[in-house]
Structure 1
Amino acid sequence: MKEHQLGKEIIRLALPATVENIFQTLVGFVDTLLIAQLGLVAVTAVGLANAILNVYLAVFLAIGVGGTALIARSLGAGQLEKARRYAGQVQEVSIVAGILFGLVSILFGHWLLQAMGAEATVLEEAQVFFYWVGGLAVLHASMTSLGTILRASGDTVTPMKIGLMTNIVNLGLDYLLIFGIGSWSGLGILGTALGTILARLLGAYLLFREVQKTDMAFRLAVKLVWSDYKELITLTIPAALERLVMRLGQVVYFSLILALGTTVYASHMIAGNIESFTYMPAYGLATAAAVMVGQALGQKDLKKIRQIGLLSSVYGVLVMSCLGVILFVGAPYFAGLFTGEAEAIQQVVIALRIDAFNQPGLAVSLIMAGALQGMGDTRSPLYSTMIGMWGVRVLGVILFGQLLQWGIGGIWLSILIDLLLRATFLSWRFFTRVL
């Protein structure tokens, strides 16, 4: 009965987080379609700007990883005042990071975009978007941290509802501000930036209001003392490095794939876009595992921690295996939605059918990383990402894709090996810590 209740609690936390992630991905697709109406220059400009902004987001998410572990552990131990203090610290550190990234965007935005390879025509458009959205990165930081505080306290429904609302507002504002209405022709790419900013401002306000209604209501510190933030920063740094190592590895990894030819690269990106929908349940279960493991750690209940890790992984493998079957069977249809070229369709099908076998390993690796982070172990996911991205994927593309000339099959085979190794390593780390 106890295990049954534990399973229900995992699903209760995971389901809203999954829905939120799916909706954000869908909104990203629609947003890209709107921007595409402005032309390829606009798409390229926003893409380049977002490549840098995603690095900012990686840091904001890393702060959330550390915050989740500390808040959930304190709540599990019944230390509400301590949890409230950690909540304030998460928000304060996020605001400071957002302001710093905003200054970097304004002062060095032109240079950063040039370093990304932006040509003169793209650079002008990219700067407009980047100066506004990057300059006000504090709004994104605040939304991320406030959502983290609510999830860490066991409320994944409120961030989901507010996330849905702000994303819908974002789409509406984007359409209005990009294309205008009546005789007003709109603002083009500036409209995209302003729509994003206004939606994030609304989201930050709504999330802050909801946090202040809960037991996690906090006051921002007047004096920032390093020793008070040491524990949060210690957990945040490896989590931030893990995401940055992944991003940097992707840059090298994608450049190696591009060397295999435009068709291979385009097919790989199409397959990646299709796959992005399948791992949303694993992200939801990883969120649930992080929160529940942190709370169980505060209760010093190792048996419960083991059960959470095991049940979350079992649910993840079952759901993702079903999605893998759908990927395998529906691969030709999914590929045809993105391209009409026979060669590209064939390569996307190869990628998706290999990826169908990736799903169980992907589920376990994501969920175990979340569970470890909930225990305060942010180093193990960093090590697995370093080895997986640089030691397996990058070398795998060189060996299987280039030297053995297996093309896209070699690329996705290296992903399969990476995910199996990560799942094995992270599971070993988790269960050896709780035995």
Structure 2
Amino acid sequence: MTVSDQTLAQGLSTKEKIKIIIVLAVPAVIENFFQTMLGFADTFFVAQIGLEEVSAIGVTNAVLAIYFAIFMAVGVGVNVLMVNAAGAGNYKRASKVAQQGIILASFIGLFTGLVTFIFAEPLLRLLGVEQRVLEIGALYFRIVAVPSIFMAYMFVLSSVLRGIGNTKSPMKAVIIANVVNIILDYVLIFGFLFIPALGIVGAGIAGVFARIVGTVVLVYYIQKNNQITFYKEWWRIHKDYQKELLGLGTPAAGERLAMRIGQVVYFGFIVALGTNTFAAHQIAGNIETFSYMIAYGFAAAATIIVGKQVGAGNYNEAKSYAKLISDISAFFMIFMGVLLFLLGEWIGSFFSEDSVVIAEIGTALKIAAVFQPFLAILLILTGAYQGARNTKYPMYLTTMGMWIVRTGLVYMLAVQMNMGIAGVWTAIGIDIVFRAIVLWYRMEKNKWIKTEEQMSFKDRVECQCHPQTKQPRMNECVNNY
């Protein structure tokens, strides 16, 4: 019995469930580690050039995060529909979902590339950066984001593999892409032998090549998998599937966009505090993302396991797994919080020699350390809600948290009360706690799963068909929808 099959087994002990969770989560954690390294390596190497270049990458990443939100949303739709279909044993439908997701990713990737080419400067100018940072940032932005179709493919192709319970192949693809990125970063940023030093331009070129390599590797692993079968006649737009993907993906995109646009607004407040404070905030954020990798890995496992249980109609098991994964992730994140608290300032010293910047990095990470277990619960439950086909409520909650709680408190604490970077990170922590508590409360009240009665008729039929007997619990079965 495979891990994918075991996720649907009934009557498992807590120990057996933990084993399933770990087997699925660990590759996703490692994948997230190396995914984080893609941005971390750029920031680390470019920090050796100057703080203006670090800020340029920071403001570019703030806009790219909006693109990532859209790409990730398509991936969420693909992942959820595929795990639900796999839970019902319908791998034909899972394959169709995968192909439609790739088509959607292609269109979106080309569109964001065009937007970047035309509007790079205006988009970065919205952040209120200094002219020199704007010039450097616009150049870097165009290099990395005009070919953003490869970013889209990496998100969606990874989701396709996770949709059938395969978390190892995306991990391998990201590791390979990371090795390529780090080598090219060093060679192209600083120069090597006959290759001239290209600075921040080299960092951008390295990232693009790394994503191309990652895309090729993911395609290779999909072709090797016998649970997914692509057919030539399915490479056309299918309105019903696109509606489903957008129905799940749009709220997920809305959630990410609410977060990123809110981030853009409070980034403006941080920029107003000074270039050094913004650089410290950016570096602290890059360091903290190493703790995110654990929670995101377990969140991926939560989406897969909960999605399969919901697809099979095992709602109590879905809730049991969601709570167990939250507990396990919180335990690991407490450990990461201790490391951030004790070592944050020391790690920051590798990024800057400015004593004020280093001290501010340490302050930010000490505050972040306190909120790590709440961050774990927030991310895992968001993944669980997605697996339960409920992507709208996290969107509403994130919008409220980012625009009312976080952005409002950043302005009040950091600007009005002159708390500086301590006020920024305290506001972020309060928002995290607020959203984690609300998601947990709704799960306890059983108001978190999109039930059969709330689904469309076609969805209900699809979920109720038994893969072998073809006998539905409803009046008819649509096998080829």
TM-score by length of 2: 0.82
Change (3 A) 1:5 1:198: same
1:314 aligns with 2:327: yes
1:164 maps to 175
2:229 maps to 217
1:433 aligns with 2:447: yes
CA separation in 1, counterparts of 2:134 and 2:362? 35
Deviation at 1:370, TM superposition (A): 0.5
1:251 maps to 264
2:218 maps to 207
1:102 maps to 113
| Aligned partner of 1:421 among 427, 434, 451 | 434
1:12 aligns with 2:12: no
1:70 maps to 81
1:185 match: secondary structure: coil
Change (3 A) 1:403 1:126: closer
2:291 match: secondary structure: coil
Q: How many residues align?
A: 435
1:412 maps to 425
Which deviates the most, 414-423 or 404-413? Answer: 404-413
2:429 match: secondary structure: helix
2:158 maps to 147
Change (3 A) 1:219 1:352: same
Change (3 A) 1:122 1:65: same
Which deviates the most, 367-376 or 248-257? Answer: 248-257
CA separation in 2, counterparts of 1:345 and 1:125? 24
CA separation in 2, counterparts of 1:40 and 1:65? 35
Paired residue type of 1:16: P
CA separation in 1, counterparts of 2:218 and 2:86? 20
Deviation at 1:347, TM superposition (A): 4.6
CA separation in 2, counterparts of 1:380 and 1:170? 37
CA separation in 2, counterparts of 1:146 and 1:338? 33
Do 1:302 and 1:434's aligned partners in 2 also have CA atoms closer than 8 Å? no
2:412 maps to 399
Deviation at 1:68, TM superposition (A): 1.0
Deviation at 1:297, TM superposition (A): 0.8
1:323 aligns with 2:336: yes
Which deviates the most, 89-98 or 334-343? Answer: 334-343
CA separation in 2, counterparts of 1:97 and 1:309? 32
1:278 match: secondary structure: helix
Do 1:84 and 1:216's aligned partners in 2 also have CA atoms closer than 8 Å? yes
Once the two structures are superposed, the pairs formed by residues 10-409 of structure 1 within 5 Å of their partners are 10-36=21-47, 42-115=53-126, 125-185=136-196, 187-214=198-225, 215-219=227-231, 221-260=234-273, 264-338=277-351, 347-409=360-422
CA separation in 1, counterparts of 2:193 and 2:32? 34
Do 2:165 and 2:304's aligned partners in 1 also have CA atoms closer than 8 Å? yes
Paired residue type of 1:7: I
Deviation at 1:121, TM superposition (A): 5.5
Do 2:333 and 2:372's aligned partners in 1 also have CA atoms closer than 8 Å? yes
Unmatched tracts of structure 2, length 5 or more? 1-11, 450-481
Do 2:128 and 2:268's aligned partners in 1 also have CA atoms closer than 8 Å? no
Identical columns (%)? 40
Do 2:173 and 2:218's aligned partners in 1 also have CA atoms closer than 8 Å? yes
Change (3 A) 1:292 1:187: same
CA separation in 2, counterparts of 1:266 and 1:373? 34
Change (3 A) 1:10 1:400: same
* CA root-mean-square deviation: 2.7
CA separation in 1, counterparts of 2:13 and 2:249? 33
CA separation in 1, counterparts of 2:281 and 2:129? 23
Deviation at 1:245, TM superposition (A): 1.0
2:7 maps to none
CA separation in 2, counterparts of 1:415 and 1:121? 29
CA separation in 2, counterparts of 1:49 and 1:266? 13
Deviation at 1:366, TM superposition (A): 0.6
TM-score by length of 1: 0.90
CA separation in 1, counterparts of 2:132 and 2:417? 39
Deviation at 1:204, TM superposition (A): 1.1
Paired residue type of 2:430: I
CA separation in 2, counterparts of 1:260 and 1:40? 15
Which deviates the most, 62-71 or 121-130? Answer: 121-130
Change (3 A) 1:36 1:9: same
CA separation in 1, counterparts of 2:68 and 2:23? 26
Do 1:371 and 1:430's aligned partners in 2 also have CA atoms closer than 8 Å? no
Deviation at 1:187, TM superposition (A): 4.8
CA separation in 2, counterparts of 1:302 and 1:309? 11
Do 1:305 and 1:434's aligned partners in 2 also have CA atoms closer than 8 Å? no
2:229 match: secondary structure: coil
Deviation at 1:133, TM superposition (A): 2.8
2:447 match: secondary structure: helix
2:472 maps to none
1:276 match: secondary structure: helix
